[in-house]
Structure 1
Amino acid sequence: MAGQRSDAEQATQNLTAAVGVEQRLAVSHGPFPCIRAARRFDASRHVVFDIAGIRVGWIRRSDLARLDVWRHVFDIDDARVALRAEFDTVDARTRVLGEVIGALAAEGCIPGWRDETYAIRNHFDDAPLAYIERAASRFFGTQTFAVHLNGVVFGRAGTSEGDVIGVSDVIGAGDALRSAGGQLSDAARETTRMWIARRSLQKATDPGMLDNLVGGGIGWGYGIEETLIKECWEESGIPDSLARRAVRGGTIHVLQEIEEGTQAEQLFIFDLDVGADFEPQNQDGEVADHRLAAIDDVLQWIQQGRMTVDASLAALDWMSRHGALGEVARAELAALSNAPV
């Protein structure tokens, strides 16, 4: 009869739906290389960096020879590099570390100079022990802090590879996620989109890789929310009034060996429903373009390593909190909320 499916057609539809579910489950369960990378650190390959008897960082054993000429600044042995006790004030430590860092940068050992000041502190609210150039934080493996924002749109269509801004069609804002108590229903997952940025090819780190809508390091003198609002405008043209609606998500600790040294970083993650009419506009030249992507496409990009480690973790944090990750992946991600020993 017209308008009715045959048994064969219905079976085909059921099989197609089942295959879609299997593919989605496979994507949601991982594996996600960024989770492994966030703890890719071998302490035996490093020595402790110590200030005033406090471990504040990690220095690669392979870099110790570069510090030999600075033995009037550091006490160096097989287990640690310690700033000498005579440098017992913040100003004195900052001055002498600045001399060392300037020389190391001139030798090419500290790339990507930023002219930004970072404080050496193990926790965000700790009093600084010294101040250093941002680029040197990886060489010395000192603790850094960053904000990342997941820009989400509920009920907007997109293509399988993500739409470059201005291409997709709005199909209504919808409240499917909110009415489901924060968990993505199948219908909500099909229409929920996440804005993804692509980093400029001129970026000092991870050029050309995919990134969150907003992400940036927290320099000395800036608060967490203050940095978020600043980065929202600079990276995506999000006005202050919209940025202030961001909701705090999870916190993730990264400790990984990278080319420049050691990344020891705490990520403060935020979510923002930017609305169906929002289109990001980069202001500082650090973003090549933006794309509006389906949740499953973002998960695949994370699996494929196309997104930076930090951005991948921030996006997975959103996925985990909204029911888009498998149980094992959720547990592995949750472990990263604890600072490494």
Structure 2
Amino acid sequence: MSFACIAAARRFDDRAHLPLVIGSQRFGWIRRSDVESLCRWPDVFEISSLAVRIHPRHDTCEARTAALAPVIEALAAEGRITGWRNEHYAIRQRLYDAPLAWIERAASRFFGTRTFAVHVNGYVPARFVGEAPKMWIARRSVLKATDPGCLDNLSAGGIGNGIGVGDTLVKECWEEAGIPAHLANEARPGRTLHILAEIPEGVQSEQIFVYDLALPRGFVPENQDGEASAHWLCTAGDVRDVIARGKMTVDASLASLDFLLREGAIRVKDCAGIEALFKPADE
């Protein structure tokens, strides 16, 4: 059995992109085909054959945020940035680093800046020794800005402005599956995924914190915010099959494979290349 999601999470050609630089460090990747569209703002960007640099005159978080805002609005109006969220994401390398700028969430893919998310594998423990646990999977609403109608983990979401990992986990568990906070807080960490991939919106550079949550028998998820249209309790074999057939989002597929690997429901040799995606959270 092969899993295309593993290759998809690593499909990136740096030759087709220019680094987005602030100071002396890279904080993103911009497609070469998009660089020309930024030449209209010489007061915001210094562009060379090697990099796109935010002009050093913008030397504070507030100044960079203010300089980038009209650029992002113009690109969105032209359709170069899609899926506007009215959410602010920070430009930074690590989750708890001080932000270098705040940008609209939808722009993070255009600029290839690092984003952070939580994915929760909801499962029902096995009854017998040697039996694999069952997993709850969700179908995303057809109205979602990304991957509409695809299968997903029980709950998942991006980590936004001023919200940490734990708060995001509790929030998403309630909104997407109706799981109360006291139960969501029982989730246990899996591993941390690092994705760097070319996608239609630009570049996905994302760190995903994977969690496992054991749910009581008889508990049925109930979506609260309209972002999931259905939930199913599936065997490990069924989850493997939908991943192999490409019916689940890349992010959710990798989070599910992490769980199945740790539970012994799938073998590492069947997931060639996946270990390279799991790294310590601060890398």
**Same-fold status (TM-score > 0.5):** yes
Tell me which residue corresponds to 1:63: 34
* Displacement after TM superposition at 1:338 (Å): 3.3
Report the AA paired with residue 337 of structure 1: F
2:249 to 308, 319, 336: 308
Q: Secondary structure in 2 aligned to 1:229?
A: helix
Q: What letter matches 1:225 in structure 2?
A: G
Contact 2:191–2:279 (CA under 8 A) maintained in structure 1: no
**Structure 1 residue 54, shift from structure 2 partner:** 1.4
What's the secondary structure of 1:69's corresponding residue? coil
Determine the structure 2 residue equivalent to 1:54. Answer: 25
Question: Which residue identity does 2:91 align to in structure 1?
Answer: I
CA distance in 2, matches of 1:59, 1:208: 28
- Let me know the Cα RMSD of the aligned residues: 1.3
**One of 169, 182, 192 as aligned partner of 1:241:** 182
Deviations 1:32-55 (Å, cap 9, x if unpaired)? 111111100000000000112210
Moved over 4 A (4+): none
1:337 alignment counterpart: 278
Q: 1:154, CA displacement in angstroms?
A: 2.4
Aligned pair partner of 1:213 in 154, 168, 193: 154
Q: CA deviation at 1:326?
A: 1.8
Note the alpha carbon deviations across 1:223-272, whole angstroms, 9 max, x for none. Answer: 00110000000000000010000001110100000000000000100001
Q: In structure 2, what is the equivalent of residue 77 of structure 1?
A: 48
Question: Which residues of 2 match residues 133-148 of structure 1 at below 5 A?
Answer: 133-148=104-119
User: Hey, what's the Cα distance between the residues in 2 that align with 1:36 and 1:338?
Assistant: 17
Cα distance in 2 for partners of 1:123, 1:151 equals 26
Contact 2:173 2:184 in 1 (8 A): yes
8 Å CA contact 2:120–2:156 kept in 1: the answer is yes
Percentage of identical aligned residues: 54
Provide the TM-score with structure 2 as the length reference: 0.97
Contact 1:271 1:318 in 2 (8 A): yes
1:330: how far off?
A: 5.1
Query: Which amino acid in the other structure matches residue 236 of structure 2?
Result: I
**What SS does the aligned partner of 1:256 have?**
strand
**CA distance in structure 1 between the aligned counterparts of 2:233 and 2:52, rounded to whole angstroms:** 46
**Residue equivalent to 1:45:** 16
Looking at structure 1, the residues matched to 80 and 209 of structure 2 have their Cα atoms a distance apart, in angstroms, of: 29
Aligned-residue offset at 1:117: 0.8
For 1:72 and 1:327, how far apart are their aligned partners in 2? 50
Matching residue of 2:93: 122
Aligned to 1:195: 136
Partner Cα distance (2:265, 2:94) in 1: 31
- Which letter maps to 1:264? S
Report how far residue 337 of structure 1 moved: 1.2
Larger proportion of helix = 1
Q: Aligned AA for 1:89?
A: T
CA distance in 2, matches of 1:332, 1:288: 32
Q: Give the distance between the partners of 1:152 and 1:206, measured in 2 at CA.
A: 23
Preserved CA contact (<8 Å) 2:190 2:211? yes
Aligned to 2:268: 327
Post-superposition CA distance 1:105-162 (Å, at most 9, x none): 111111000011111001112111111110000000000000000000124xxxxxxx
Please state how far the C-alpha of 1:331 moved relative to its aligned partner. 5.7
For residues 328 and 48 of structure 1, what CA distance do their matches in structure 2 show? 34
- Output the amino acid matched with 1:69: R
| Aligned residues of 1:249 and 1:318 also touching (Cα < 8 A) | yes
Q: Which amino acid aligns with 1:333?
A: I
Q: C-alpha offsets along residues 271-302 of structure 1, whole Å, 9 cap, x if unaligned?
A: 01111111000000011111111100100100
Q: 1:147, 1:227 within 8 Å by CA — same for their partners in 2?
A: yes
Counterparts of 1:101-112 in structure 2, within 5 Å, are 101-112=72-83
| Partner secondary structure for residue 146 of structure 1 | strand
Equivalent residue for 1:286?
Answer: 227
Instruction: Describe the superposition over 1:172-209 as per-residue Cα deviations: whole angstroms up to 9, x where unpaired.
Output: xx3x35xxxxxxx2xx12xx310000000000100000
Q: CA deviation at 1:327?
A: 3.0
Which one-letter code corresponds to 2:216 in the other structure?
Answer: G
Corresponding residue of 2:240: 299
Residue in structure 1 matched with residue 200 of structure 2 by the alignment: 259
Work out the CA distance in 2 between the residues paired with 1:92 and 1:220. 18
Residues 320 and 330 of structure 1 are in contact (CA less than 8 Å); yes or no, is this contact kept in structure 2?
no
